[in-house]
Structure formats: structure tokens, C-alpha cells
Amino acid sequence: MKITIKDIAREAGVSTATVSHVINGTKNISEGKTKLIKGIIDKYNYVPDIRAKNLRNLKTKTAGLVVSSFPDSHVSGIVNGVGKRARELGYQMLFINTIEDQEYEKETIKLLSSHMVDGIIITPSKMDSQYLKKYIEQNLPIIQVLRYDPNLPLIPKVTMDDFQAGYDATVHLLQHGHHHIGLIYAKADVTSTTGRIEGYKAALKDYHFTFNESYLELGNATVEGGLKAIKHLINREKQITSLFVLNDLMTVGAMQGLTALSLKCPEDIALIGFGDFPAANITSPPITNVSMSSETVGQTAFDVLLNKINNPSYSRHIQIPASLMIRRSCGC
């Protein structure tokens, strides 16, 4: 339902001019009326003027990209891919990184929708993104990339096959004789993490090993987080002989942690990372990584957004497969 200034004025029991003054800050209105009017505006997610005038039937050739995850090489590659495809197709991109802050994310989406972008690509900060429903109902084209809310089936998605990536990496370590595999993850309540951990669990089950919750450690997607995580994990679970690290910054931290603990890789602890950052093949030892073309993900995401803009009923989930770049850190 589209809300108008008249509707707001009627519900607040004031004139349309009073509502307009509150929205535009052009006249001092009493605190009580201002609070009432702003409450109604927030209630209906009303966006003034520019969006109402254009009615979304005029293309601005501008789209928004909202990234919530920390900027590792994988995320940077996706951003580059989106930007490249946008330029090829004559679009401008507005890029915002909310650094895992959902309240900032909500304000960002509201701002972008009010300034007439044709659509938005978002990496949500949490699995629960129900606040996006109101924008879907207003026919704002939105797609989710890397992560998604499973309870929003009408939003198209572009992700990697996280389950298979987690499964393949774990199987590789199991086939090297590692039965006690630690896992360092970046963030708990997002589908990319849950998918990879489910793949890890499935591989253990298929090889008749029991999943141990205490083998998981939060690393917060940073180098420092990876360093702290490996120290906690190895000191707590001394039987661990290998690691699966779900982010390249944490992989760097994990390698630093092994050195600090006087452990050799792969002799003492084998390791598989995630994201395949540019220096992975020249470290000592070179790091085995789950790898995928991040730019391909970004380019695909922009193509999917255009599909959604041109076909509002489009709701496909595209999963892009990953591969394992085998190097020496896993014991190969």
C-alpha cells in the first residue's frame, strides 16, 4: 500500500502543510505533533517527494550495493565484479559497507530506497532480514548475495554452494587421516557460515566420525580474531591435528597463531583456508584454499538484479560452485 502525505495528515489529525513542515524541517512544529507525525512516517515507511513523483517507472540507471561483511579478498572481488558489470551496462553504483551493523543496514536501505535507486544488492548482516519485506511489498527490486534470509523466498539470491564447499574441504582433511578437525568461523547467524558447517558435519558423519561442538571457534573475520581463535582452540582441544578456517583474514591470523604456539604447518597442524587471497600460494607453506571466482559472483549478482528490475516475479537462487586449490598446508 502506498502512503501519501494526505494519509499521514488524516491519521495524525493535522493538515498536510503541517506534515510537510515536519518532513522538510521548514517550520517549527510542536514536539508532540512532530513525534506523532514521525511515528506514522516510520510506521508506514513513508518516503517523500522524489520517490512519489517518479513512481519507480523512470529508471535512474543507479543501483545500491550494501555489503555487511568485513572486506576480505573474497568480498572485495565481489564488489569489483558488481562494479565492472554495472559499468558495462551503463549503471552507476552506490556502495556502502555496514560492517555487520544491522541497524545501520536498515537505515542504509531506507536511504537508498528514498533516493530512487533502481534496485539494491545486499549482503545481509543477519539471517533474519524480515525488515526487507516492506520494501518487497513496495516493489523495490532487491537481491541478496553471499548470505540470505531463507524466509524471504521472493528475493533472488546469488551464493556459493557453501554446503558443498564445507563438505569437500573436510573430506580432503579426513582423507589425509585427520579425525580431529578444528573449524574457525567468522560469524554465527548467517547462511554462509551455517551452510559450510553443515557440510563439515555431513562429511564427518559420512566418514563415521562424531561432530564435536567444542572444535568450533569464533574468529570474527579478522586477522586478530583468527590469531586468538587458534590459540583458544589448540589450548583447549589438544587432540586437534587440522584446521578449516572460513575466511582469508582469519587464515592469516591462524598461521601467525601456529608460529606463536611453535607449531609447524602441516607437520603439526594441517590447514585449509577459505577465499584464496592473492598471497596464499607464496606463503610458507603455500595455503590450500577453498576458491571461487569472486568477480563472477559479483557480475552474476548484478545480472540477477537487472532480471529482478525487468521481471518483478523473478526469484531464482543461483549457487556458484567452489573448488579446492591444493597446496602444501593441508599435507599434500
The per-residue pLDDT for 188 is 92
Length of the chain: 332
Instruction: Give the per-residue pLDDT at 72.
Output: 74
32, burial (CB in 10 Å: exposed 0-12, middle 13-18, buried 19+): exposed
91-139: pLDDT as tens digits:
999 999 998 899 999 999 998 988 779 999 999 999 999 999 999 988 8
pTM: 0.81
> What sections of the chain are H helices per DSSP?
5-12, 16-24, 31-44, 50-54, 73-88, 102-114, 133-137, 162-175, 191-206, 223-236, 248-260, 294-310
Residues in the chain, pLDDT under 50: 49-57
Write down the pLDDT at residue 277.
Answer: 81
pLDDT of 1 reads 56
Q: How confident is the model at residue 76, as a pLDDT?
A: 86
Residue 244's H or E segment, with its range, is strand 242-245
Q: What is the pLDDT of residue 145?
A: 96
